[in-house]
Structure 1
Amino acid sequence: MKKSCFALLFLVFFSCYQSERNCKDFKVGSFYSEINIDGIAYTSHFTRTEDLQVEIYDKKTDSSKLRWVNDCEVIFKTINPKSMSEQKDVHLKILTTTDSSYTFEYSYVGETKKQKGIAYKVD
């Protein structure tokens, strides 16, 4: 009896702790994101369609082609790169979602150093 009560208690606590990921809700729309790098907060605004993202950061506009790996992962390829770093593709993975935001991690393709941020849906 004690074992079954412990097992039931274990299931109740740990089955409720699954991260929600409704990634399809964030494939298209208008968003703003917040990223903190070395204690400095960076904010950008972007609009995303199924295969294109246009981002405004620091009064500059940047456009990327999108290739969705699955519903929660996407590869960004800058459309007119102006520097060597802009030529590198970026891999973004949605980690968790809420009704109006998602937490993500991203890195250059092939690199292990990852940054995290939060994006909020505007519309």
Structure 2
Amino acid sequence: MLKKVFFVVFASISLISCYTPNRDCQAYKTGEFLFNYSIGDSLKQGRFVRGYNYSIDYYDNKIDSASIRWLNDCEFVLQDLKSKVGIHYKIIGTTDTSYTFEYKNAVKDPNRKNVVKIGTAYRVQ
């Protein structure tokens, strides 16, 4: 009986660990997207239009532009054109209408903990 339980547990763990989320990153390199973000207690929605080399963000009645440097099919660095601050993005999963990503500062600050956040962008059309 113990061998059967061990086999079922081992088989289950093996199947789960082999699962990788769908990542069709090419489909999300360019386009118009919506995303939700929070400031304090309020939930807001932003929009961005991404081409191959630049991204234009529309959020909180502001417009911001950034350059894009693709590291591979699923990772890129977005660098703000004004402040030159870089954010590293990694697409970790995709669906037919959205992608989930991780993001963090592109340059590590030795005085601050490197925090990785997760978000989802939804294709507009």
Alpha-carbon spacing, 1:115–1:37, altered in 2? closer, same or farther (3 Å): farther
| Residue in structure 2 matched with residue 109 of structure 1 by the alignment | 106
* Identical positions, percent: 34
Tell me the matched-pair count: 117
Post-superposition Cα deviations, 1:56-89, rounded to whole Å, max 9, x if no partner, equal: 011110011100001111111112x1xxxx3321
Contact 2:64 2:80 in 1 (8 A): yes
CA distance in 2, matches of 1:21, 1:55: 23
Deviations 1:75-123 (A, max 9, x none): 11112x1xxxx33211111111111101111111133211211100012
Distance 1:36 1:20 in 2: 27
**Does residue 43 of the first structure (1) align with residue 40 of the second (2)?**
no
Once residues 39 and 117 of structure 1 are traced to their aligned partners in structure 2, the CA distance between those partners, rounded to angstroms, is 17
Q: 1:20 & 1:37 partners in 2: Cα distance?
A: 30
5+ residue gaps, structure 2: 109-113
CA contact (8 A) 2:86 2:107 kept: no
Work out whether residues 86 and 105 of structure 2, in 8 Å CA contact, stay in contact via their aligned partners in 1: yes
Q: Which one-letter code corresponds to 2:86 in the other structure? A: D
Residues 1-123 of structure 1: pairs in structure 2 closer than 5 A: 10=12, 13-14=15-16, 17-36=19-38, 40-79=42-81, 81=82, 86-111=83-108, 112-123=114-125
Question: RCO (CA 8 Å, sep 6+): is it higher in 1 or 2?
Answer: 1
Distance in 1 (CA, whole Å) between partners of 2:105 and 2:38 is 17
TM-score (norm 1): 0.78
Tell me how far apart the structure 2 counterparts of residues 65 and 78 of structure 1 sit (CA, whole Å): 7
